[in-house]
Amino acid sequence: MEAYYHNDPRIGEWVEKIIEEIFTTCLLTGVDSEAEFQKGCEFVSKLASLLQDFSTFPSEYLADVLKQIIEQQLPDSRVIANFPSFKDIMNKMLEEGMLKVMETSKSFPTDSMNNLKFDIAEIENVEIEDCIPALGAIYNEILPIEQQTIIEETEKCPNILIPNHVDRLKTFLNHVFVDPAIMWDVTISGQKVFAQVEDILFCHSGSMCSCEGEKFKQEGWRVLIIDDEDLYYPRRFERNLKNTIRQGKNTKRR
């Protein structure tokens, strides 16, 4: 927890307030209980927004990180056991607080040309561990089972992205672009391409050689080569996508 206080005292403060509001909601009833619950949701929203400023997560990952941070600061389980509704109230409070953050994010200003949710000329990328060391450690534990699964899945089907990866790519693209018009499994110059958004082609490394990627670039496309593993690391994918976007908008040959 010291790492959080060191980087921003508000993190520790809001975690404590969220836990306090959960207990208070458990103890009260009726209108009073609802009022305390709503206070807790506000603190959840503030904490989620702050964490989102440190590093950009797709919403489902941010929710996992937020929950783990709070759970690490809970009192002894024997104390929690005295409040049967504690877990349900905590989960509901986190869910509603996150919803408020997501609703707010929809109003972010966008780039008029590419409909981007971020400024392509923004400051250089910063890894999670550089911002909050402890947060990086938590984030690395979010998908231990899925990271093992990826090896088995890619061995079975090395040249295509499996459905689980398709869902992840959709999540990432929807996080980066506003209402993206994603075209799946398109054919460009006789070559199968996994996905296309505007003039950006998303190609799977297992089904495309480097010379084909260079050919697309010469034709005016921006190309992002995707490894299966990239889809398990949102920050890596986002960094690679931003670098691709910075290549500049070219004129494609029709």
Longest dimension (CA), the chain: 68
Strand-pair partners of 225: 203
227 and 103 Cβ atoms separated by less than 8 Å: no
Q: How far apart are CA 95 and CA 123, in angstroms?
A: 31
Q: For the domain covering 150-245, report its CATH number.
A: 3.40.960.10
pLDDT tens digits along 178-212: 666 788 888 888 888 888 888 888 887 766 666 67
Listed by start position, the domains of the chain span: 2-139, 150-245
Residue 85: pLDDT band (50, 70, 90) is: very high
pTM: 0.43
Condensed to tens digits (0 to 9), the pLDDT of residues 25-83 reads: 998 999 999 999 999 999 999 888 887 766 555 556 777 888 888 888 888 888 888 88
d(CA 244, CA 120): 10
| Cα–Cα separations (whole angstroms), residue 250 to 115, 178, 218 | 16, 21, 10
